[in-house]
């Protein structure tokens, strides 16, 4: 059996290499590629991704998995090899249902769509992006049909990012959370608003960039195995565990954009850099799910980056870099300013209390698109209507509205719920971390993240995709994904800031 397992790993390594090469081309498109290269890039991506798909769904892989199944069941169920056989079997069973021609077409369509989205966003021209998004929605419906019967057309899309979770489960969680978050936001709105005007001054790009790099270096981001570049929408990507890259964007007139974007993406990257090396070039060499991934990015962005403890250490350094802007702003005022709760237009810049409402809005729109109840042409108005209903604000243009996120241009429908689920998981993990590391607060104030990173590596990062998300959460904290710690955190934090 060892010979068969080695052969399977050999094939999986080739698939991983092809996917890594495609990811490198995608990174280049979003960072340095000239706009005129998009058509060639579409064909290149289609070639690589269809080759990877064909290799993975080959008869040889199917036969090897069938022959290895009894062997895998005889092993410790948490061993690397048992998990590899199980996870690969699951991914194979999904992938084999998708025709190779569809994979090639999908890759080409989304590559072209990304270029169209960038131009549409730049020029506030949804009509330029609309036909691309219509094709993407059409292809996503076709994709869902490959997995009939299903309980809901959105289920196959969600399962790609959150294995085992259903649309009904997500809707149930969101339905239970929404009124409690709305109640908190209303209570905050009745209190005197904190001042964050100092965040909206001019902050030169170089200083923002250097401070962000200083902070994530302290976090533990390994520059020997990564780099940071600029992109229209921040993202993290990897071409193997030895090369995990992040991007950010800078607004010289708003400090939060690059600051918290950089901290967020570093959370994703540190997770990927922490996956055990022996899982590299296999289906296990990645995060357990996007909710677990977002739990790490939201933890580094919010539970650390927006905490008072974090700024005890870092604020003097930031003040020194921006004396004119922050010299007369004390730590307490800065802490309150970066945690100001106010309904806003841009999801990635939203405060913690209102953030999930941005996610719920997108989930409802995606479901309506997939169900055929909402036409793509009506998406901008539907977006604006829900922004008004959920947050009481209306985007002045589509660039700050329906075009603000990169996800739909990449065909990533089914992803957005994982952001909110990640918020829940991050707080469940945070409670457990503070139980296991009673001196954590003092360590953070000293700029020491060593023990925290070691805890995350041991309990989350090193496992990669060995375990389904609910299994992993239950394994670490003893319960499945739950909103209660998150809601408790929000009420305690903002109750203190706003005197509720």
Helix pair angle (308-321, 331-338), 10° resolution: 110
Nearest to 114 by CA among 38, 48, 37: 38
On the question of a cis peptide bond just before residue 149, with omega within 30 degrees of 0, the verdict is yes
Rounded distance, CA 299 to CA 438, Å? 18
In the annotation, is 67 catalytic? no
From 49, 86, 118, 265, the catalytic residue: 265
| Per-residue model confidence (pLDDT) at position 485 | 96
Contact 401, 345 (CB under 8 A): yes
Rounded to a whole number of angstroms, the CA Rg of the chain reads 22
Task: Tell me the domains of the chain and their CATH numbers.
Answer: 2-149 (no CATH), 167-498 (1.10.1370.30)
> For the segment 206-215, what is each residue's pLDDT rounded down to a tens digit?
999 999 999 9
**Number of other residues whose CB lies within 10 A of the CB of residue 78:** 12
Calpha distance 101→90 (Å, rounded): 21
In terms of Cα–Cα distance, which of 339, 332, 309, 316 is closest to 437? 309
What are the tokens at 31?
């960072």
Q: What is the mean pLDDT of the chain?
A: 96
Overall residue count recorded for the chain in this entry: 500
pLDDT of residue 212: 98
On whether the CB atoms of residues 281 and 17 are closer than 8 A, the answer is yes
Exposed, middle or buried, 219 (CB in 10 Å: 0-12/13-18/19+)?
buried
Quick one: pLDDT at residue 155? 97
Q: Are 213 and 259 in contact (CB under 8 A)?
A: no
Element (H, E) at 229: strand 228-230
DSSP 199: G
**E strands within 69-187?**
none
Give Dmax over CA atoms of the chain in angstroms: 69
Closest CA to 322 of 201, 447, 446, 194: 201
Q: Which three-class secondary structure state does DSSP give residue 204?
A: coil
- Residue corresponding to tokens 């810049």: 349
DSSP E strand boundaries for 261-395: none
| Token pair 């996503």 in the structure block, residue | 140
Question: Under a CB-based contact definition with an 8 Å cutoff, are residues 200 and 254 in contact?
Answer: yes
Q: Which tokens sit at 245? A: 């890259």
Please, which residues bridge with residue 238 across strands? 244
Pair of tokens at residue 345: 């237009």
Q: Are 408 and 136 a contacting pair, CB within 8 Å?
A: yes
- Tens-level pLDDT at each residue, the chain (500 residues): 899 999 999 999 999 999 999 999 999 999 999 999 999 999 999 999 999 999 999 999 999 999 999 999 999 999 999 999 999 999 999 999 999 999 999 999 999 999 999 999 999 999 999 999 999 999 999 999 999 999 999 999 999 999 989 999 999 999 999 999 999 999 999 999 999 999 999 999 999 999 999 999 999 999 999 999 999 889 999 999 999 999 999 999 999 999 999 999 999 999 999 999 999 999 999 999 999 999 999 999 999 999 999 999 999 999 999 999 999 999 999 999 999 999 999 998 899 999 999 999 999 999 999 999 999 999 999 999 999 999 999 999 999 999 999 999 999 999 999 999 999 999 999 999 999 999 999 999 999 999 999 999 999 999 999 999 999 999 999 998 999 999 999 999 999 999 99
């Amino acid at each position: 059996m060892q010979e068969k397992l080695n052969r399977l790993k050999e094939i999986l390594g080739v698939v991983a290499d092809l996917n890594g090469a495609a990811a490198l081309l995608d990174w280049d498109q979003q960072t340095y590629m000239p706009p005129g290269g998009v058509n060639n890039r579409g064909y290149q991506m289609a070639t690589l991704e269809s080759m990877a798909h064909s290799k993975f769904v080959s008869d040889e892989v199917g036969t090897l998995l069938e022959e290895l199944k009894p062997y895998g069941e005889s092993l410790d169920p948490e061993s690397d090899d048992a998990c590899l056989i199980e996870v690969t079997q699951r991914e194979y069973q999904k992938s084999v249902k998708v025709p190779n021609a569809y994979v090639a077409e999908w890759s080409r369509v989304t590559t072209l769509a990304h270029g169209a989205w960038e131009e549409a966003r730049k020029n506030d021209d949804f009509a330029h992006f609309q036909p691309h998004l219509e094709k993407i929605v059409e292809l996503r419906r076709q994709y869902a049909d490959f997995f009939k019967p299903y309980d809901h057309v959105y289920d196959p899309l969600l399962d790609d990012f959150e294995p085992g979770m259903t649309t009904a489960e997500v809707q149930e969680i969101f339905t239970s959370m929404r009124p409690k978050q709305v109640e908190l936001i209303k209570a905050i709105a009745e209190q005197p608003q904190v001042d964050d005007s100092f965040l909206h001054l001019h902050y030169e790009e170089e200083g923002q960039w250097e401070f962000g790099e200083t902070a994530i270096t302290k976090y533990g981001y390994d520059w020997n195995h990564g780099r940071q570049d600029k992109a229209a929408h921040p993202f993290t990507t990897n071409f193997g565990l030895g090369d995990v890259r992040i991007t950010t964007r800078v607004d010289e007139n708003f400090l939060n954009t690059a600051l918290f974007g950089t901290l967020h993406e570093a959370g994703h990257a540190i997770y990927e850099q922490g996956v055990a090396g022996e899982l590299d070039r296999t289906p296990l060499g990645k995060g357990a799910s996007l909710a677990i991934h977002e739990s790490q990015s939201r933890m580094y962005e919010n539970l650390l980056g927006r905490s008072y403890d974090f700024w005890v250490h870092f604020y003097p350094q930031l003040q020194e870099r921006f004396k004119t802007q922050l010299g007369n702003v004390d730590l307490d005022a800065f802490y309150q300013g970066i945690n100001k709760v106010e309904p806003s237009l841009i999801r990635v810049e939203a405060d913690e209390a209102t953030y999930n409402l941005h996610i719920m809005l997108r989930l409802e729109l995606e479901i309506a698109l997939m169900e055929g109840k909402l036409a793509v042409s009506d998406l901008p108005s539907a977006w604006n209507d829900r922004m008004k209903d959920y947050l009481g604000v209306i985007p002045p243009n589509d660039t700050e509205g329906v075009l603000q996120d990169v996800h739909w241009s990449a065909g990533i429908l089914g992803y957005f719920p994982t952001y909110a689920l990640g918020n829940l998981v991050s707080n469940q993990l945070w409670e457990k971390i503070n139980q296991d590391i009673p001196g954590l607060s003092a360590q953070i104030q000293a700029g020491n993240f060593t023990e925290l990173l070691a805890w995350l590596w041991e309990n989350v990062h090193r496992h990669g995709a060995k375990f389904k998300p609910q299994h992993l959460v239950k394994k670490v904290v003893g319960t499945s994904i739950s909103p209660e710690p998150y809601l408790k955190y929000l009420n305690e934090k903002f109750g203190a800031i706003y005197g509720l």
